[in-house]
Structure 1
């Protein structure tokens, strides 16, 4: 039975509990060689308890995992659960600020005084990733001649902005960027953009909606990343025999054949001669939550194109035609994460048992390879067709415009973006990074389709969301 958290919906509590269980299992597996299981679970419980009563819940499992990994990495084995870290104290402060803001009458505040509740927890995530915690109303003053520029960005770009080398290039150009993560759909619809200097969603449709709403004509697309499907060699061999995966220098994933299998309810143990993964589960690609995550929306765009007889969906008739097939791809998955980091981290740590197929950004795989996290049996495939997730920056003022210009024109920032797995205008630079990391990538993306118009994509996402209910 799920616990009750005041002010938090029951379904959100269930999602948090499931995420906590999965995260704990992953930690136990990762740390089992050096840390006793009971010490791991005790540290998780203690870290989780620190967030009791806090209304901001979305990023709690992520924060707990980071806290525990840091604490259990302490060289002194007698130190089990130290005092709350700066990140945790920041989280608690933000929660208190949020509670106070909810209880008091609305009043005029400075741009930096109170972080909006919808992304308050995201500040802490940004701080933990970057190793710096930005507190509401108390941020460290910038160096002389350096302008602080605030942006809201897709979570997959957080590690790029947290890179000290990126920060140095920006500082050399008189800028210190402070970023907070949010889903691209959230950035375009619910985030209060008045608190930011630029918005940096992961898709053109979301950026175009922001432009229309705020009457802005300028935009920058400094880098991009296609949607990919990550799997494992035994699974790839099974799906090759089933005609879904076509091996080659760069493996491809036939979306048409896949939709036929998924649509007919074929399970893994239905595949002929399947002795490597004979489980009674539907053959499904694991995704994020389409109601909040851009990667799931891009995956939906690919599936909608194939389900609509290889034509971009336009109009209510076409939307209704494809919705049953699209809904089935998501509803049959069960729990889905809000961020693309969730399923990909499970892929990296838990093996093919829970996640034999995962929808990711190509950039995630290439970046993970640079960190030594890709194992020999892990396989990157490209859906045919695929879509390009074009990370599009919309400047909301002159300082935001300067960030867009630098990301687009500065050669060092483009090189660093490639190191983080993104494709820039320099194809040779990206393929060189991938080759150094032994990741076979498609140098030139050929079978790429456009995503539907923003309104159509919203209708499809809303239709899938309604199917959840």
Structure 2
């Protein structure tokens, strides 16, 4: 569980008090024909007292209303409650004035025109009880939630995520931390640009692409302002020791405690069509293939888009591309980097898996996320002849979660604030802002990584990157 600061605790109390007042007013109005107002308020106070000291407060108003309606024998089969705090927090438009638009998107919003939502009593009772830390027994008694498996009553939250994050969400330790917070997360993998362009987001509670440009596109399309960036990973290039030695002699790879990959020199070789068997004294990889980094498909995947961002910066005389003239200037060089590759995968998991299993024959150079390599090292999948290098410059891919519903917002908050989830993210190779924690994990796994990323450039602006990606996509035809 995350450590709660005094300020956060005060905010939680204030939100609960506001929700309780609104719920009480709603009950008094609904029951006024049969029950005196003072009896309603007295019942609310007594029910609320049952939850004193319970750790999870978000669903307490729901559960209190359930108890009161049961005790006062209200025949109304619905429960009206204020939206949970996570939804209120994420919503930007006022539900009174803009009920159809809020920052958590169109699907599954818990906010209606009056800020409340009719819910079936049966549907909310078990979930709310577990979230509040109790189980309701016949007659209104309560018992610790531990007596009943909480996972069965956890709220299921669905997300579409970049493939490199699937292992994190499937980690049993991550599953347990989320379950302890009342949620069960189900994820489906997709390329980050696919998430932003072709995936039907209406069936998900959150979208979690691997970069801020893809997230920005989702926010624009769905009029969402909320977002979370719980972790990040720079683009890296994985290779093998014989290839690294060849490219060191060619001036592409600079050896050192953390090897670097000179993008300027690489673009010179790629732009002139130099092949591997053209390199002097090449007896280890004498093949008639262009010297190219294997990537994912730039039309669908974020890692290729980030690689394109780096190449566009270098091709534009080490300046971020801006405007139509600069776009047209760099497109020929960028297109060459992708067209000669042949088939490319839609997500980063494909080429990296091939790198791990098939050796340097088909994939001597692979564009990956640093996190993938560090995670694989923890799994014992990195062989002695494998080498991780960092392009100079590189781009930091900020994994950005866009909440599409109130429960999606809850996941974003947990990933950002829960220290155990942040630690587990670092174990999966992601940088969470705690450099000491990350470098300690990498050192333990014998992976040389830069503690601080210095030679990092920004990706082009959203519209420019889209123009570049569309221009490369057209060159495929």
Query: Contact 2:275/2:289 (CA < 8 Å) preserved in 1?
Result: yes
1:233-272 aligned within 5 A: 233-272=241-280
1: CA distance between counterparts of 2:269 and 2:431? Answer: 32
Aligned to 2:379: 371
Match of 1:318 among 326, 331, 337: 326
Offset at residue 214 of structure 1 (A): 2.1
SS in 2 for 1:285: coil
The answer on 1:148 being equivalent to 2:159 is no
Report the counterpart of residue 335 of structure 1 in structure 2. Answer: 343
Between the aligned partners of 1:206 and 1:297, the Cα distance in structure 2 is: 10
Number of aligned residues = 331
Q: 1:408 matched to which residue of 2?
A: 416
**Match of residue 20 from structure 1:** none
| Alpha-carbon displacement from aligned partner over 1:118-154 (angstroms, at most 9, x marks no partner) | xxxxxxxxxxxxxxxxxxxxxxx98454211111111
Counterparts of 2:449 and 2:471, CA distance in 1:
34
Q: Is 1:434 aligned with 2:442?
A: yes
2:112 match? none
Contact kept, 8 Å, 2:150 with 2:179, in 1: the verdict is no
**Residue matched to 1:289:** 297
SS of residue paired to 1:213 = helix
- Is the 2:293–2:367 contact (alpha carbons within 8 Å) kept by the matching residues of 1? yes
**446, 462, 467: which is aligned to 2:470?**
462
Which residue in the other structure is 1:395 paired with? 403
1:163 paired with 2:158, answer no
What residue ranges of structure 1 are gaps of 5+ in the alignment?
1-109, 112-140
Alpha-carbon contact 1:288-1:340 (below 8 Å) kept: yes
Cα deviation for residue 192 of structure 1 reads: 1.9
Write the deviation string for residues 203-245 of structure 1: whole angstroms up to 9, x where unpaired.
Answer: 1011112222222222110001100000011111111111100
1:4-153 pair list within 5 angstroms: 143=151, 145-153=153-161
* Alpha-carbon distance in structure 1 between the residues aligned to 2:326 and 2:459: 14
Q: SS where residue 283 of structure 2 aligns? A: coil
1:231 alignment partner, one of 215, 220, 239: 239
Report SS of the residue matched to 1:313: coil
Distance in 1 separating the partners of 2:169 and 2:425: 10
Answer yes or no: is 1:351 the counterpart of 2:359. Answer: yes
CA contact (8 A) 2:238 2:366 kept: yes
TM-score by structure 1 length?
0.69
CA contact (8 A) 1:253 1:382 kept: yes
* Residue 308 of structure 1 pairs with residue 327 of structure 2: no
Contact 1:301/1:451, CA 8 A, preserved across alignment:
yes
Structure 2, unpaired ranges of 5+: 1-106, 109-148
Residues 175-209 of structure 1: per-residue CA shift (max 9 Å, x gap): 11111111111211222222111111101011112
Report what 1:43 is aligned to: none
What secondary structure does 2:443 align onto?
helix
Q: Secondary structure at the match of 2:337?
A: helix
Q: Please tell me whether the aligned partners of residues 164 and 349 of structure 2 are also in contact (alpha carbons under 8 angstroms).
A: yes
| 1-structure distance, mates of 2:217, 2:346 | 21
Note if contact 1:154-1:184 (Cα within 8 Å) is conserved in structure 2. Answer: yes
Aligned mate of 2:392, from 384, 395, 400 = 384
